[in-house]
A and B are shown apart, each in its own frame.
Chain A
Amino acid sequence: EAGVAQSPRYKIIEKRQSVAFWCNPISGHATLYWYQQILGQGPKLLIQFQNNGVVDDSQLPKDRFSAERLKGVDSTLKIQPAKLEDSAVYLCASSLTGRRFLLGNTIYFGEGSWLTVV
């Protein structure tokens, strides 16, 4: 079974430039997540989609970050304009459902997109 696919793997941009990351979740997974992991820290949820609707974007810096999942399958996360503190790994993940109490509802993570802002 194919895992969560992300691209690009690595990106270096200058501050104030824009960048976009793409994610294709595991086939059939209704829930898609974007996490930000700064070096030395645990992942922090930026946004959670259930199909093409937003479930939780309370920790998304909406002045510069945006995300969409138009057809309920793949998703794009955009940063514009980027700041130095946005340097991090952006992890996409997916699960069958967002119902946390459902046994076996494992969250599967992609390998991440590494962003360096200089």
Chain B
Amino acid sequence: TQLLEQSPQFLSIQEGENLTVYCNSSSVFSSLQWYRQEPGEGPVLLVTVVTGGEVKKLKRLTFQFGDARKDSSLHITAAQPGDTGLYLCAGYGETSGSRLTFGEGTQLTVNP
């Protein structure tokens, strides 16, 4: 079983602060995705990273895939209350077929 560990599990910050969420594994992933899930809704895809070392930016969000394709990070600049939600990383392992494996998630709260 290929596991994804996210840290921190909970994060509460003030509006305007920066933050980084981490997603780590001992296994290699062929691609990794980040989702955001708001209360009462299903996860929504934010980004997919495929190449080791890849960096993608989505407005104030920066996503990075580790060189060895075992880890990823999500950095948010100048967080806003609208960024509040559960951030999930998920990956397609090299041996898990077409199954998408999710991490446990990071619950982010941005206080105004």
Q: Which residues of A contact B (CB under 8 A)?
A: 4, 40-45, 48, 55-56, 91, 93, 98-101, 106-112
Contact = CB atoms under 8 A, between A and B. Distances in A.
B42 to A, nearest CB: 3
A56 B102 CA distance: 16
Contact of A42 (B41, B44, B45, B103): B103
Given A100-B31, A100-B92, A43 B43 contact: yes
B88 A98 contact: no
A111 B40 contact: yes
B104 interface: yes
Nearest to B10: A40
A80 to B, nearest CB: 24
Interface of B: 4, 30-31, 40-45, 88, 90, 92, 97-105
B44 to A, nearest CB: 7
A109 B42 contact: yes
A44 B90 CA distance: 11
Contacts of A107: 45, 100
B42 A91 contact: yes
A100 B60 CA distance: 27
B42 A112 contact: yes
B88 A111 contact: no
B29 to A, nearest CB: 11
**Closest 4 CB pairs between A and B?**
A109-B42, A42-B102, A100-B92, A98-B98
Given A93-B42, A100-B92, A107-B45, 6 more contacts: A42-B102, A42-B104, A100-B30, A100-B98, A101-B30, A108-B42
A45 B100 contact: yes
Contacts of A111: 40-42
